Chain A
Amino acid sequence: MTKISFLSIKKFFRIKSNITICILLSICMSFMCVVNFLPVSVKNYWDNHLLNNVFYRTYMLYEQGKNNYIKQILDDMPEVAGAYTFDGYYSLTSMEELTDEYNETPVIMVHGFVNPPEVVEGSQIDENNKDENLLICPNKFYPFVRNDMVKDPENGYLDTTREIDLRKYLNKEITLASDLGDGEKTKFKLIGLYDTKNNRFMDKSMCFSYYSNVQELNKSAKGFSKDNSLIYELNKISDAHLVEAKLKELGYYANPSVTLNIEVATQSFDLFIYLSKGLMIIILLIILIISFIRIKKDEKNLMINKLLGYNNQQFSIQCITNSILTFIVTLLISMPLIFGLWKLFQIYLPQYDSTFSGIKILFSYEALIKMIILLALILVLITIINIISKFKKNLINIIKS
Chain B
Amino acid sequence: MDNVVAIEIKKCSKIYHKNGKDIVALKNINLSFEYGKFYLIVGHSGSGKTTLMNILGLIDSKYDGIVKINNKEVNNLKSKELAKIRNTNIGFIFQDFYLDNFLTAQENVLTPMLINQKKYSYKEMEDKSQILLDKVGLSERIKHFPKELSGGEQQRVAIARALANNPNIILADEPTGNLDVENEEYIFKLLKEMSKNFKCIIMVSHSKDAKKYADVVYNLENGEINYDED
Note all chain A residues with C-beta closer than 8 A to B161.
308
Which of B83-91, B136-144, B196-204, B220-228 has 4 or more CB atoms under 8 Å from chain A? B83-91
- Would A15 and B102 be within 8 Å (CB), given that A7-B114, A309-B115 are in contact? yes
Q: From the candidates A3, A6, A304, name the one contacting B100 in the complex (CB within 8 A).
A: A304
Q: B165 — nearest CB in chain A belongs to which residue?
A: A309
- Tell me whether A308 and B112 are in contact (CB under 8 A): yes
The docked-state distance in angstroms from the alpha carbon of A1 to that of B79 is 19
Docked pose: A263 CA to B51 CA in angstroms = 63
Q: Do residues A399 and B54 form an inter-chain contact, with CB atoms below 8 A?
A: yes
Q: Is the CB of A309 within 8 A of B84?
A: yes
When the two chains form their complex, are residues B83 and A309 in contact, meaning their CB atoms are under 8 A apart? yes
Q: Is there a chain B Cβ closer than 8 Å to A293's Cβ?
A: no
A310–B62 alpha-carbon span in the complex (Å): 20
Partner of A304 from B54, B61, B87, B98 at Cβ < 8 Å: B98
Q: A309-B115, A396-B60 are in contact. Are A11 and B102 (CB under 8 A)?
A: yes
Task: Kindly supply a per-residue 1/0 record for chain A positions 6-17, scoring 1 wherever the CB is within 8 Å of any chain B CB and 0 otherwise.
Answer: 110011001100
B115, chain A: closest CB distance, angstroms: 5
Say whether A373 faces chain B, with CB atoms less than 8 Å apart. no
Question: A296 → chain B, closest Cβ, in Å?
Answer: 15
**Cβ contacts under 8 Å, B115 to chain A:** 4, 305, 308-310, 314
Q: Which residues of B contact A11 (CB under 8 A)?
A: 100, 102-103
Tell me what chain B mostly uses at the interface: helix, strand, loop, or mixed: helix
* Interface residue ranges of B50-91 to A (CB < 8 Å): 54, 59-62, 79-80, 83-84, 86-88
Asked if A396 contacts B62 (CB within 8 A), the reply is: yes
Which residue in B61, B83, B102, B111 is a CB contact (below 8 Å) of A311?
Answer: B83
* A300 on interface, CB distance cutoff 8 Å: yes
Range of interface residues on chain B?
20 to 34
Contacts of A395 in B (CB 8 A): 59-60
A26-65: CB near B (< 8 Å → 1, else 0) gives: 0000000000000000000000000000000000000000
Q: Once the chains bind, are B103 and A311 in contact (CB under 8 Å)?
A: no
A307 to B114, CA, bound (A): 14
Identify which of residues 112-129 in chain B touch chain A, using a CB-to-CB cut-off of 8 Å. 112, 114-117, 122, 125
CB-contact partner of B107 in A10, A307, A308, A312, under 8 A? A10
Are A7 and B107 interface neighbours, CB within 8 A? yes
Contact of B114 among A4, A301, A304, A399 (CB under 8 A): A4
Decide: A3 near B54, CB < 8 A? Known: A307-B92, A310-B115.
Answer: no
User: In the complex, what residue of chain B is closest to A6 when comparing beta carbons?
Assistant: B122
Given A15-B102, A396-B54, A307:B86 Cβ within 8 A = yes
Q: Cβ of A3 and Cβ of B122 under 8 Å apart? A: yes
For the complex formed, measure the closest distance between the CB of B129 and the CB atoms of chain A, giving whole angstroms.
Answer: 12
- In the assembled complex, the Cα of A11 lies from the Cα of B111 at a distance in Å of 12
B80 and A312 form a contact (CB under 8 A): yes
Cα-based distance from A311 to B103 in the complex (angstroms):
19
Q: Report yes or no: A307 in contact with B102, Cβ–Cβ below 8 A.
A: no
Among B62, B88, B111: residue with most chain A CB under 10 A: B111
B84 / chain A contacts, CB cutoff of 8 Å: 309, 311
The distance from the CB of A3 to the nearest CB of chain B, in whole angstroms, is 5
Residue B99 interfacial (CB < 8 Å): yes
Instruction: Give the residues in chain A near B98, CB-CB below 8 Å.
Output: 300, 303-304, 307
A241 CB within 8 Å of chain B: no
User: Is A306 engaged at the interface, CB distance under 8 Å to the other chain?
Assistant: yes
When A306-B83, A308-B115, A396-B62 are in contact, do A301 and B100 touch as well, CB less than 8 Å?
A: yes
B111, A305: Cβ atoms closer than 8 Å: yes
- Give A227 Cβ to nearest chain B Cβ, in Å: 49
Q: Is the CB–CB distance between A399 and B99 below 8 Å?
A: no
Name the residue of chain B whose CB is nearest to the CB of A313: B80
> Which partner residue on chain A sits nearest B84 by CB separation?
A309
Q: Decide: A3 near B125, CB < 8 A? Known: A310-B83, A310-B115, A311-B83.
A: yes
Contacts of A314 in B (CB 8 A): 115
Query: Chain B's nearest CB lies how many Å from the CB of A393?
Result: 11
CB of A62, distance to nearest CB on chain B (Å): 64
| Bound Cα distance A3, B111 (Å) | 10
**Beta-carbon nearest neighbor of A2 in chain B:** B122
Q: In whole angstroms, what is the CA distance A303 to B100 when docked?
A: 10
Assess whether B99 is in contact with A304, with CB atoms less than 8 Å apart. yes
Question: Chain B residues near A301 (CB, 8 Å)?
Answer: 100-102
Contact residues in A for B86 (Cβ distance below 8 Å): 307-309
B88 touches A309 (CB 8 A): yes
Residues of B within 8 A of A304 (CB): 98-100
What separation, in Å, do the CA atoms of A304 and B92 have in the docked complex? 10
- Closest residue of chain A to B116, judged by CB? A309
Q: Which residues of A contact B122 (CB under 8 A)?
A: 3, 6
**Bound Cα distance A304, B108 (Å):** 10
B61 contact set on A, CB distance < 8 A: 396
A selection of 24 A-B contacts at a CB cut-off of 8 Å is A1-B117, A3-B114, A3-B122, A4-B114, A7-B103, A10-B103, A11-B102, A14-B102, A300-B98, A301-B101, A304-B98, A305-B111, A307-B86, A307-B98, A308-B112, A309-B83, A309-B86, A309-B115, A310-B83, A310-B115, A311-B83, A311-B84, A312-B79, A396-B54
Q: Which 4 residue pairs are nearest across A and B when measured between Cβ atoms?
A: A309-B87, A396-B60, A309-B83, A311-B83
Q: Residues of A with Cβ closer than 8 Å to B?
A: 1, 3-4, 6-7, 10-11, 14-15, 300-301, 303-312, 314, 395-396, 399
